[in-house]
Structure 1
Amino acid sequence: MGFDDLDEAMSQQDEDEETESEPGESSETARTNTMSESEPNQSSTTPTATVDTDDWKRQPGFPYDDAVQEAIYPRDTVWDQFEQLLQYDIERELVQEREHENVQKRELHDAALRVAMQHPDELIDAFEQTRK
């Protein structure tokens, strides 16, 4: 089949992850330990005296490594409308009106999901409207 190599790649990745972790250590623990080792010690860093108050507008809200890629399955028309909303309305507002820089799609998608989680009743209504 066309996906035979995918199974092999996933098996190889699992083996690689197991060899990176210590015996008896879960892959989640190994990942946490690796992340802890690579992160600078926050308590030892001293803030500089000349911190720009708008610096948070220049950098993404979270690193790429914190993002996960998950598949969602909207209809083409809904996805196109969503992407247009993000690009032409939301991102334009953030960049031109609110002076943010380096706006990442992962941040916009994360924000959209967080808003959706805050409004479960509206999600239920939208779901039911689709079924009618």
Structure 2
Amino acid sequence: MSAALTLARECQIALFGVGNLSRNTILYRSGSLKEEDFIELEEKGAVGDVCTCFFDARGEAVSSSFAKRRISITLEELKKIPCKIGVASGLEKKEALHAALLGEYINILYADEELGKELIAI
């Protein structure tokens, strides 16, 4: 894992999905994000995640007990990657995607038309 994380920190292009904080996500349904994690993140104002790193509506990282168990680069490390391609679809991702853009975790965006129109309207 250490070698993979080192490579991730040194990459020039990152391609990732943007998730919202929901019990319908694969992260939650798979059991990786437990109910107590969900409640803690919700109470701390988390709205979404990239690379299993959660952030609030302002795009600022949200610390949690889940963050201590995950294996991933940090949001600050992600921000250093020159080309960050974020992918999202569905209106339920609007708040998370907006926050990810505010946090500067994405500089190229692929989104469905409906979601794109909603973001432009913000």
Larger strand share, 1 or 2: 2
- Which is higher, the Rg of structure 1 or of structure 2? 1
What's the TM-score, normalizing by structure 2? 0.28
Larger helix share, 1 or 2: 1
What's the TM-score, normalizing by structure 1? 0.27
